[in-house]
Structure 1
């Protein structure tokens, strides 16, 4: 198993405000990312890199639903000025270029097509792009360069609060919820959540620091709480239904794919269809401890005894 390699990322808040413009760069990568709120778009477009060839993302909401647009241009500033007039829904823009303006038209068309395909396959945010462009003809060497560029870009984007390219669905073999052991290598622990009132059983594993609910687990058909209907876990429940991770199975849903949640509580909320405390609702399959109790025992076991 290949050990993951750490990467060094530099974020620079241009005006010193966490909600203002910022740039992101990675060591040994030629890419440059500029994130700007729409309220500062004029200042952003006056920067030298805004006139470079590159790709850009427009992010916002339309009729209460999240929406994104992915585009490219030999002069990003000219393209965004056009969209600034024609599109009134977006609230922030991400400009992606390379040092010394090293990307050409074919490069940015390739990156645009790859990002659109990636976003559509993940399905976390709807795109306004009506057509998925085909990949332009690039040499084998240039394709390799652009794939390497894209790999680094997908690491940088979440750092500037763009998570639409994070794939949390997992392709592990589907396991029935009654199976005694999940097919996960090096798993740290396995947990079960049983909601007898609504006939729900879900299994999850903590694997590599991710809390992964297994395919075949159950969840409520709909989000049943008024809390977080517009924000938070209610949106996540709706997102998983839209993307096909949750599929209707009679009067409940079933996880068609294993899915990595950011916390046990996020996983429990989606399963229960309401806000939930995952640290007490998930039980360790082997010990019947709550997640909270199991975590505390693991922390205690790893404490180094001080010499007397």
Structure 2
């Protein structure tokens, strides 16, 4: 829209009445030339915190006005970078429909587990007629198709949902033990049931402390144990969060034969 890839984007699909916009935070106040953004819609706020991507899913009667207002997760210092917004020029997205979509996309983002979901509570699922639900599923599929082209794979199932056999890695420290497996992109999924050291060493870097605090706040770690599978962007970030120390994860994550990731992949 602005002649540059880092500016505003508009995406649409032939014979579909929906419009999807990607608006950088810095350009949000410049969107007065887009009247559709002053209508009901569903929005996604994307950002990166401590090396981990996050998303917030919301809805509003006036999307532009709502996004300009502070969100609860921002009170802790988090800041989103881009807003992705779904609206319809004909105004067909009344309250029940946007509430239904908000709940649906929230659940999808949680199930895919690629991003931290910043919503403090589960959005309420509104009841809609079957024919309305069927029409909304068309919008869902189109948004899922558009979202990766805008740079976000939030609705692409993570490797944790892959039923094929996996080679597990394990990590053992003095106060924590964990299992996980690698994704093709170099990230690692730490398995539910892995333990977590509640104390931190003096070497623990700020970004690790913040990530650890977020795991506890989001109740992904409860009483020193992972209660769900959690994705980390690197072996070192995962190991550092688990042990509460700045460490080289390639030395500490081991294959079933006892060889470290570093040693096995340097052969």
Give the TM-score taking structure 2 as reference length: 0.69
Give the TM-score taking structure 1 as reference length: 0.61
Structure 2 residue aligned with 1:295: 265
- State the distance in 2 between where 1:27 and 1:228 align: 49
Structure 1 counterpart of 2:244, from 273, 288, 299 = 273
Structure 1 residue aligned with 2:41: 54
Task: Give 1:221 shift.
Answer: 0.9
Give unpaired runs (5+ residues) of structure 1: 1-12, 61-65, 172-183, 298-308
The equivalences for 1:1-308 within 5 A come to: 14-16=2-4, 18=6, 20-23=7-10, 31-57=18-44, 70-73=58-61, 76-77=63-64, 79-80=65-66, 84=68, 87=70, 94-98=83-87, 101=90, 103-105=92-94, 106-115=96-105, 124-127=116-119, 132-135=123-126, 137-150=127-140, 153=143, 185-195=163-173, 198-206=174-182, 211-225=188-202, 228-229=205-206, 231=207, 233-248=208-223, 253-286=224-257, 288-297=258-267
8 Å CA contact 1:54–1:95 kept in 2: the answer is no
Q: 1:217 to 1:162 in 2, by over 3 A?
A: same
8 Å CA contact 1:124–1:164 kept in 2: the answer is no
Q: 1:257 to 1:128 in 2, by over 3 A?
A: closer
- State the distance in 1 between where 2:117 and 2:196 align: 22
Task: Give 1:260 shift.
Answer: 3.1
Give unpaired runs (5+ residues) of structure 2: 48-53
8 Å CA contact 1:205–1:212 kept in 2: the answer is yes
- State the distance in 2 between where 1:224 and 1:145 align: 54
| Higher relative contact order (Cα pairs below 8 Å, separated by 6+ residues) | 2
Tell me the alpha carbon deviations over residues 31-87 of structure 1, each in whole angstroms, 9 at most, x when there is no partner.
Answer: 543232443223223125424542234678xxxxx99572222x544x44xx64x64
Task: Give 1:255 shift.
Answer: 1.9
Q: 1:164 to 1:295 in 2, by over 3 A?
A: same
Which stretch has the larger CA shift, 23-32 or 102-111?
23-32
SS in 2 for 1:283: coil
SS in 2 for 1:199: coil
8 Å CA contact 1:225–1:273 kept in 2: the answer is no
Larger strand percent: 1
Tell me the alpha carbon deviations over residues 177-209 of structure 1, each in whole angstroms, 9 at most, x when there is no partner.
Answer: xxxxxxx953342222121xx332222233676
- State the distance in 2 between where 1:187 and 1:42 align: 49
Q: 1:192 to 1:228 in 2, by over 3 A?
A: same
CA RMSD of aligned residues (A): 4.3
- State the distance in 1 between where 2:45 and 2:16 align: 23
State the number of aligned residues: 251
Task: Give 1:285 shift.
Answer: 1.2
